[in-house]
Structure 1
Amino acid sequence: MLPENGRSADDLLAEIAQLKQHDLPVRGGKVTAYVYDTGRPEVGDAAARAYFEMLEVNTLDPTAFPSAVAMERQVVGAVAGLLGGGPATPGIFTSGGTESIMLAVKAARDSRPVAGRPRMVVPVTAHPAFHKAAHYLGLEVAPVPVDPATFRVVPEAVAEAITPDTVLVVVSAPSYPQGVIDPVAEVAALAAARGVLCHVDACVGGWLLPWLARAGAQVPPFDLSVPGVTSISCDLHKFGYAPKGASVVLFADPALRRAAYFASAAWPGYTVINATVQSSKSAGPLGGAWATLRALGQDGYLALARDTLAATRRLAEGIAAIPGLRVLGTPESSLVAFAGDDVDVFVLADEARRRGWFLQPQLSYAGIPANLHITVTGVTLAGVDALLEVIAVSAEAARAAGPAQVPEGLAELLEGLDLDSIDDATFAELAASVGVDLRAEGQPRMAVVNAVLDALPARTREAILIRFLSVIYG
């Protein structure tokens, strides 16, 4: 509710602190998803000050605020220099990976008109942002399988899925679920042979992989230097360690970037030309990204990459040594996923959260078992032994507790339920009947929720998740 009278900044900040009391911590490395921590407070401070300095600059009109244009050129140029492009490589600074992917899909659709409904070939491990882009932009998604042992997309399956209406083929470097790099060179070559564009989703790895290579890791070719790669996305708010709202999408040529733009002159108002999905937007994230890149520099990123590489190897080896746990695939970046043979990983996650650590649950799909995901960042190395200890203790506690108990018949009930026929209050009551209070304060225990979702087909999961969100914000 809007207060009757204005309040002081100190008063407002005190209330924010109260509101945040149940939030996961964004620093320290105990949250292994969503946040990226360098462990260097001075870098975050520089980014925050630059973010604030550019906060009220509106990038809607590039002629009004040339500072934003200069910053974007420098940031895009830095990314291009790292990802196989030259100083003239065209790119766009966006609000995040989803928007970068949205623009890459739009560019492919608009630059390659087809007679039927445009299609894109997407591995089952590709980020859901591609499905979101297809939903918004009217494309059809052709999902293709990955190898069950390596979790990399199967090139032969990609080739079989390409049709005359295919405008884009997607590969990941790495794919988020298991942290492995798809065979980019092979897929890009077969796409080029068919006259189809190829996008590399390097939102997670784009900024990190080149530094890992310099730190001694074996990184296969994946960027714009690979023949057939026509666009690539790279999030700077991940391993660039910039504040949220910072990503770049690069294109192999200016014509393809122009196809990502939007212009409208069919009204009597101001000139509308947008490089991104958003029109008015703050240059704060751009300023934060610009400052972060300069605050760390090449030596800073290389040092963070060395720590990240060491932590990832130590973590993967340590998890593999814990009875009942196994690492999925061979991590090639800094993403580690592990499943449990006699341990319910959803219960393990709850046990770890109870001990102050957040491990990200991933549901089973396309033959890939339910698992837990860890994003290793620059600060992880200092706490990797503590993390392994928590995983081991939590695994033992989960084994003793047994798997999460899904009430008999609940999955079948939910699958057959007409969710459109019940309101949010009734849905909240249904959740409460199985011990899930969607409006409770604090950090929830999620094992039963995840077990229920894991027992449902993807479309039912999606419908349930939408209702969860509606109730939480209701």
Structure 2
Amino acid sequence: MNPAGRTTEELLAEVARLRSRDLPVRGGQVTAYVYDTGRAEVHEAAARAYFELLEVNCLDPTAFPSVVELERQVVGAVADLLGGGHGIFTSGGTESIMLAVKAARDAAHDAAHRARPNLVLAVSAHPAFHKAAHYLGVEVVAVPVDLETYKVRARDVADAIDENTIMVVASAPSYPQGVIDPVEEVAAVAAAAGVPCHVDACVGGWLLPWLRAAGAAVPPFDLSVPGVTSLSCDLHKFGYAPKGASVVLFADPAMRRKAYFASAAWPGYTIVNATVQSSRSAGPLGGAWATLQALGREGYLELGRATLEATVRLREGLARIPGLRVLGEPESSLVAFAGDGIDVFVLADEARERGWFLQPQLSYAGIPANLHITVTGVTLAGVEDLLKVIAESAEAARERGPVVLPEGLVELVAATDLEALDEADFAELASSVGVDLRPEAGQPEMATVNAILDALPAAAREAVLVRFLSAVYAI
């Protein structure tokens, strides 16, 4: 920290320098993490509204009534689109999911004490449910997906439900392959067992209705489906709002109240929170509100049409590239493809060299390693360029061949007590497989790292990833 302080110009120049190694957030060449309308004026409106509300604190809505009105409008828009309900504006899908799990856990506890509450979900359900379960003392019962459709089967869900089940989960869509679980069937078996059913529509909630309007065949998935009791929908994904914007809806207002937290067991100010956070900026709420208002229904319809067309062209183009195949029949704009005779991790590195980021996904539960692409409103303008890069990268990966790991390396990593290593030792271990963790080193080739992770069991993967994150942030 500078003792004398620094000027605004100096600070912004430093931010620009630090961001020079970041992936671009506009233009569509990063096919994960960011969502771009291609309309600068919309993002500008959101940024300005975000800034205007930056210092407004959502902690006390009686002190800042603008928070109440903006949240009513934003949550109301989501409810209108997704079958009604009573909602809470949150910081993202993970928080929305955590609140849904808390509400189900507390409701179940009130009804009949469960010593070992559990969630029943597919292996393709987002890890945010595992995170919520970890924080809230809930077990996860994971069931397989059909390895042709990549969807969960309602009969497997029914078989997994027991007297300790507090919630069943369906995804619309599941992120890995972009397919929609049979929500009507899953919700029916949950209702028959007297168990709440949550639909994870964090990705699809503000996408699928517009794809349906553009002509896509989208099955029922929202709160209008009998048996669906809650739903999560991220506005910082296909709502194109700035990060930190999601909504969780509950069919029953009594269940929404179970998501709240209140405490009067202290002599200070009144504590009642709708979210996990207490103090939080209203900036994301303002940004989400402004984005919805700036785009309007017609804007989202046009984005839906462009997204659907780009997705169709991407899938058709991938089918023409030798050695690549799309996994399943995606009903959304999330597309995953695997390689036959092509190492997809090498392909991803080749694409990165050409300026495009494709998201690697490790093999799991019978699903092969693959690359994931999230098609957004801006993708259509560059879809042919994307396909050209994928084709070139696939050919280069074929010529390079798959990653060949040194004999015994995977076993060595699996057997290493990572907790016994300090940050320097772990950085040295990472360097031995070609990963330089120094900030100035930039983005390393990740094919070898992904190949190692892919060969490890899930628990070992998680241990490596935790140490990796710790080493990245080491001071």
How many Å apart are 1:443 and its aligned residue?
Answer: 2.1
Shift of 1:316: 0.7
The aligned runs of 1:253-292 (5 Å cut-off) are 253-292=252-291
- Inter-partner Cα distance in structure 2 for 1:29 and 1:79: 26
Q: Distance in 2 between matches of 1:101 and 1:150?
A: 25
CA deviations 1:73-94 (Å, max 9, x no partner) are: 0000000000011xxx310000
The answer on 1:42 being equivalent to 2:38 is: no
- What's the counterpart of residue 131 of structure 1? 130
Q: CA deviation at 1:154?
A: 1.2
Q: Equivalent residue for 1:51?
A: 50
Q: What is the SS of the residue equivalent to 1:372?
A: strand
**Matched letter for residue 90 of structure 1:** H
Structure 1 match to 2:412: 413
Question: Could you tell me which amino acid in structure 1 is paired with residue 241 of structure 2?
Answer: A
Contact 1:22 1:441 in 2 (8 A): no
- Give 1:155's aligned residue: 154
One-letter amino acid of the structure 2 residue matched with residue 209 of structure 1: L
Give 1:375 shift: 0.2
Among 84, 105, 110, the alignment partner of 2:101 is 105
- Work out the CA distance in 1 between the residues paired with 2:443 and 2:268: 48
What CA deviation, in whole Å up to 9, does each residue of 1:168-211 have, x standing for no partner? 00000000000000000000011001100000000000001001
The equivalent of 1:461 in structure 2 is 461
Q: Is the contact between residue 407 and residue 434 of structure 1 (CA under 8 Å) also seen in structure 2? A: no
Moved more, 432-441 or 294-303: 432-441
Which residue of structure 1 aligns with residue 343 of structure 2?
344
1:316-327 aligned within 5 A = 316-327=315-326
1:92 to 83, 88, 95: 88
Question: Post-superposition shift, 1:213?
Answer: 0.6
Partner of 2:76: 77
Which residue is 1:353 aligned to? 352
TM-score, normalisation: structure 2: 0.98
- Give me the whole-angstrom Cα distance separating, in 2, the residues matched to 1:117 and 1:69: 37
Which residue in 2 is equivalent to 1:247? 246
Q: Secondary structure at the match of 1:151?
A: coil
CA distance in structure 2 between the aligned counterparts of 1:22 and 1:79, rounded to whole angstroms: 36
Give, as a single letter, the amino acid of the residue that structure 2 aligns with 1:102.
M
Q: Does 1:221 align with 2:217?
A: no
The answer to whether the 8 Å contact 1:91/1:251 transfers is: yes
The superposition leaves residues 74-115 of structure 1 with CA deviations (integer Å, 9 ceiling, x where unpaired) of: 000000000011xxx310000000000000000000011233
Deviation of 1:441 after TM superposition, in Å, equals 2.6
Deviations 1:387-426 (A, max 9, x none): 0000000000000001122221111011111111111110
Unaligned runs of 5+ in 2: none
Query: 1:57 Cα shift?
Result: 0.2
Aligned partners of 2:267, 2:92: CA distance in 1, in Å? 32
Q: Counterpart of 2:447?
A: 447
Higher mean Cα deviation, 122-131 or 439-448? Answer: 439-448
Which region of structure 1 is more displaced relative to structure 2, 2-11 or 305-314? 2-11
Give the Cα separation in 2 of the matches to 1:324 and 1:463.
Answer: 33
Question: Partner of 1:22: helix, strand, or coil?
Answer: coil
- SS of 2:166's equivalent in the other structure is strand
Between the aligned partners of 2:55 and 2:421, the Cα distance in structure 1 is: 43
8 Å CA contact 1:83, 1:225 repeated in 2:
yes
Residue aligning to 1:429:
428
State the Cα deviation string for residues 251-290 of structure 1 (Å, max 9, x = none).
0011000000000011110000000000000000000000
- Give distance in 1, aligned partners of 2:252 and 2:434: 54
Q: Distance in 2 between matches of 1:90 and 1:441?
A: 48
Aligned pairs for 1:7-26 (under 5 A) are 7-26=6-25
Structure 1: 5+ residue runs without aligned partners?
Answer: none
Give the AA of the match of 1:196: V
1:193-242 superposed Cα distances (whole Å, 9 cap, x missing partner)? 11000000000000010011111100000000000000000000000000
Aligned pairs, number: 470
Any conservation in 2 of the 1:171–1:201 contact (CA below 8 Å)?
yes
Residue type matched to 2:118 in 1?
R
**Mapped partners of 1:284, 1:405: distance in 2:** 48
Question: Is residue 401 from structure 1 mapped to residue 400 from structure 2 by the alignment?
Answer: yes
Give secondary structure in 2 for the equivalent of 1:99.
helix
- Provide the rounded CA distance (Å) in 2 between the counterparts of 1:115 and 1:19: 50
**Partners of 2:404 and 2:57 in 1: CA distance:** 51
Percent sequence identity is 76
Cα RMSD for the two superposed structures:
0.6
1:373-388 correspondence to structure 2 within 5 Å: 373-388=372-387
Name the residue aligned to 1:182: 181
- AA partner of residue 89 (structure 2): F
For 1:316 and 1:123, how far apart are their aligned partners in 2? 25
Asked if 2 retains the 8 angstrom alpha-carbon contact of 1:201 and 1:232, the reply is yes
CA–CA distance in structure 2, aligned partners of residues 320 and 108 of structure 1: 43
Contact 2:171–2:201 (CA<8 Å) still a contact in 1?
A: yes
Cα distance in 1 for partners of 2:42, 2:434 equals: 43
Q: Matches of 2:409 and 2:61 in 1, distance apart?
A: 54
Moved more, 114-123 or 72-81: 114-123
8 A contact 2:108–2:114 mirrored in 1: no
Following superposition, the deviation at residue 116 of structure 1 comes to: 2.0
Q: Secondary structure of 1:230's partner?
A: strand
Q: What is the DSSP-based 3-state SS (H/G/I as helix, E as strand, rest coil) of the residue aligned with 2:448?
A: helix
1:211 is aligned to 2:210:
yes
Structure 2: distance between partners of 1:435 and 1:444:
7
Name the SS of the counterpart of 2:141 in structure 1. strand
